[in-house]
Amino acid sequence: MKRILSVLLVFLMAAPLLAQENYKTLSKEDSLKIYNGASTYDVKSYSATFKKQKPKNIILMIGDGMGTAQVFAGITANGGHLFLDNFKHVGFSKTQSASDYVTDSAAGGTALAAGYKTYNGAIGVDKDTIAHPSVLEKAEEKGLATGLVSTSAITHATPASFIAHQPSRSMYEEIAADFMNTDIDVFIGGGYKHFTERKDGRNLVNELESKGYTVLQDMNKIEKVKKGKLAGLTAYEHNGRAPERDGMLPKATDKAISLLKNNKDGFFLMVEGSQIDWGGHQNNTIYIVEEVLDFDQSIGKALEFAAKDKETLIIVTADHETGGLGINKGNINKQNVKGGYTTGSHTAVMVPVFAFGPGAENFTGIMENTDIPKRISELLGL
């Protein structure tokens, strides 16, 4: 009975969040289901030659809500190629949570971060609300540099799963406070209000500065930081859509790598393209495609580094698919694509896993989402 009451309490706490997240409002305009092409970008091919069989650094990149249809919509929109073309080791991840056949981003993020299944809504805790360290926290404990980058609030479900331990994803202020319990080197994303406008009266920006962090809100200033710990809080809550962000995600990915690479023992970085999911919730093909292309250009920044460094493994996957996207019509030469949808929510289908770098062969075939952090931990000796 206590267990039932505990889980019920968690879901009641999460209920206001589900009602307030306006990106989950379904779009009604049929025109939004058709992406009619726009400017494209060049995709470079990189040599897959590496120094050793195991990586020194790992970059985990999560396209929230990104299934195979979302990937191919991006391929079509960019004229037939993405930076993902460089990833020759490909597999699939099963995404079910401990409580539901269809996971949410909190349980999906926790599975990718810490290697265990939990109930929908949980952040860094198991089905009995017991906290376990994430791969980021284990990397930090071993002396590696660590970082998080996201286009959502940095306290949102996926990035939170790597650094926080709370029974409900709706506990944004508690999640922000959990950042103070770590020595993460770099984090860039939205959520400024969760650090400053708090019920407990704490100003976590002041606390971060007292711990030696440079805290900035302007991406142009963030790009100029050359060393030290960095907290980039780039939006009051969530960052805007890709056309409004002026390349924030590729720039933040590049900046995080440039700071983390200075650690002689290596680094672990998680980068999330949050809003592919939001386009899926809205059944908005234009939104999805713009976010996939933005995420892919961030992958391009990681690839540019990894190809030169030759000691870095990049893993690209998703926490789940969103929207039940099907591609009903399109033209690669004209870069247009028409999407069809089965739902405004998540689906239970497997999602792709792509890997490039030393150890990439460990991420092929069909696997559980929990296998991904376990294999990361093995490769980094965590």
Give the Cβ contact number of residue 382 at 10 Å.
19
From the number of C-beta atoms within 10 Å of its C-beta (0-12, 13-18, 19+), residue 218 rates as: exposed
Compute the distance between CA of residue 101 and CA of residue 108 in angstroms, rounded to an integer: 11
From the number of C-beta atoms within 10 Å of its C-beta (0-12, 13-18, 19+), residue 16 rates as: exposed
Compute the distance between CA of residue 296 and CA of residue 271 in angstroms, rounded to an integer: 11
Query: For residue 78, which of 48, 44, 46, 47 has the smallest C-alpha distance?
Result: 44
Phi-psi region of 196 (alpha: psi -120 to 50; beta: other; left: phi over 0): alpha
Compute the distance between CA of residue 124 and CA of residue 107 in angstroms, rounded to an integer: 8
Known active-site residue 105 = yes
Query: For residue 350, which of 25, 71, 11 has the smallest C-alpha distance?
Result: 71
Compute the distance between CA of residue 298 and CA of residue 249 in angstroms, rounded to an integer: 6
Catalytic residue among 27, 97, 105, 161: 105
Question: Largest Cα–Cα distance in the chain?
Answer: 60
Query: For residue 225, which of 189, 182, 264, 254 has the smallest C-alpha distance?
Result: 254
Q: In 22-169, which residue ranges form alpha helices assigned H by DSSP?
A: 68-77, 105-114, 135-142, 157-160
From the number of C-beta atoms within 10 Å of its C-beta (0-12, 13-18, 19+), residue 22 rates as: exposed
- Contact by Cβ (8 Å): 382, 138: yes
Q: Is 76 helix (H, G, I), strand (E, B) or coil?
A: helix
Q: Measure the CA angle with vertex 24, ends 273 and 335; round to 5°.
A: 55
Q: In the chain, which residue ranges form alpha helices assigned H by DSSP?
A: 2-20, 68-77, 105-114, 135-142, 157-160, 172-178, 192-196, 204-210, 219-222, 242-245, 248-260, 276-281, 285-309, 371-380
Q: Measure the CA angle with vertex 215, ends 214 and 218; round to 5°.
A: 115
- Contact by Cβ (8 Å): 55, 359: yes
- Catalytically active residues are 105
